[in-house]
């Protein structure tokens, strides 16, 4: 084994120590660290890990905060698994040096330190753990690496109703407040499903949300807008 290969193997072992999980199928870990453009990229694992992260965070807050309503749970989940939060997790895991980039991407600038690339890699890692060890293992790793970010005390401000949080975000920038419109509802009279649209003038964004009441539908739409604002554009 060459010195470079030995160093790479040591880096993977150290990463698994930091994760608190050792892979039975190391090929899954290798794939999770392959940025798009490097053959078998981590994009499919990223897609899977995104769902697992959301489920694990949702279940955690559901258990730990029984007094929170649907809107508050949604905002907490979105905040803790957003791009910037996961990029900070990636920094703690020291992921950047372990990412494999194509030569073309490597020459295009500091891609491996971009928040979106790092966040995608964390999602891919969780997807890899899920395939390797099942949901329980992936949930355990998720809660471990999110750590104090899950704290209910940290979440006191973020769990403000999504509509209020969005309005404050816009007003702080001197931008117009959002406009909400109720769309035709569906379902039987005893179980109506409301749908609302949230539209921004600046930045020009819109999203729809659904809920068992007009208020919940508007909150769901506002939450989607917040998520778009927090994620920002992909590189």
Q: Which residues are catalytic?
A: 50, 123
The distance of Cα 88 from the centroid of its chain, to the nearest Å, equals: 12
Q: Are 139 and 54 in contact (CB under 8 A)?
A: no
Report the C-alpha gap between 65 and 59 in whole angstroms: 10
List strands edge to edge, sheet with 205-211: 179-186, 193-200, 205-211
Per the listing, tokens 């905060």 go with 65
Q: How many CA atoms lie within 13 A of 85 on its CB side?
A: 23
Per DSSP, the residues of 26-69 read: HHHHHHHTB-TTSSS-SHHHHHHHHHHHHHHHHHHHHHH-TT--
Q: Where are the beta strands (DSSP E) in 157-204?
A: 179-186, 193-200
Q: Give, as one character, the DSSP assignment of residue 151.
A: -
Count of helices and strands (H, E) across the chain = 10, 3
């Amino acid at each position: 084994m060459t010195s470079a290969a030995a160093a790479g193997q040591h880096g993977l072992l150290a990463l698994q120590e930091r994760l608190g999980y050792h892979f039975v199928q190391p090929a899954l870990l290798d794939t999770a660290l392959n940025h798009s453009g490097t053959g078998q990229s981590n994009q499919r694992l990223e897609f899977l890990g995104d769902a697992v992260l959301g489920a694990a965070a949702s279940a955690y807050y559901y258990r730990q905060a029984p007094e929170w309503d649907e809107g508050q749970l949604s905002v907490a989940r979105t905040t803790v698994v957003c791009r910037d939060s996961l990029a900070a997790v990636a920094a703690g895991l020291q992921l950047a040096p372990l990412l494999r980039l194509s030569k073309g991407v490597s020459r295009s600038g500091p891609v491996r330190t971009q928040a979106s690339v790092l966040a995608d890699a964390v999602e891919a890692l969780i997807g890899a753990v899920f395939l390797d060890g099942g949901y329980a293992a992936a949930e355990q790793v998720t809660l471990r690496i999110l750590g104090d970010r899950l704290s209910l005390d940290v979440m006191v401000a973020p769990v403000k109703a999504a509509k209020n949080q969005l309005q404050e975000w816009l007003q702080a920038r001197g931008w117009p407040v959002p406009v909400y419109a109720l769309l035709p509802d569906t379902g039987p009279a005893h179980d109506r499903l409301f749908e609302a649209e949230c539209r921004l003038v600046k930045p020009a964004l819109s999203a729809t949300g659904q809920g068992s009441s007009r208020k919940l539908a508007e909150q769901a739409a506002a939450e989607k807008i917040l998520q778009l604002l927090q994620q920002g554009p992909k590189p």
